[in-house]
Amino acid sequence: MTKSTATVTLKLRGGPFNGQSAVAYSAEVGGTLVVNHRNYRITSIEPIPGWNELVGSAVYVEGQKPVTK
């Protein structure tokens, strides 16, 4: 897994923030994103052709503590 060096806009799926977006910097697939004390696992990151931005998606993970490095 490689870390992204750009800003990533993630579409949140499931949980209390279903359908909303969150922005992460230096995200990686398989990592955890914490949004208001709720955990989301990053499942995909893709580039937008012609833009300097990345988009991806994250799935709600119920009852797990965030992964810290």
- The whole-number pLDDT of residue 59 equals 96
**d(Cα 48, Cα 30) in Å, to the nearest integer?**
20
Question: What's at 36, amino acid-wise?
Answer: N
Residue extents of the structural domains in the chain: 7-61
In this prediction, residue 34 carries a pLDDT of 92
pTM: 0.80
Q: pLDDT tens track of the chain, all 69 residues?
A: 556 567 899 999 999 999 999 999 888 999 999 999 899 999 999 998 888 889 999 999 987 665 555
Per-residue pLDDT at 5? 63
HSE-up (13 A, CA, CB side) for residue 2: 4
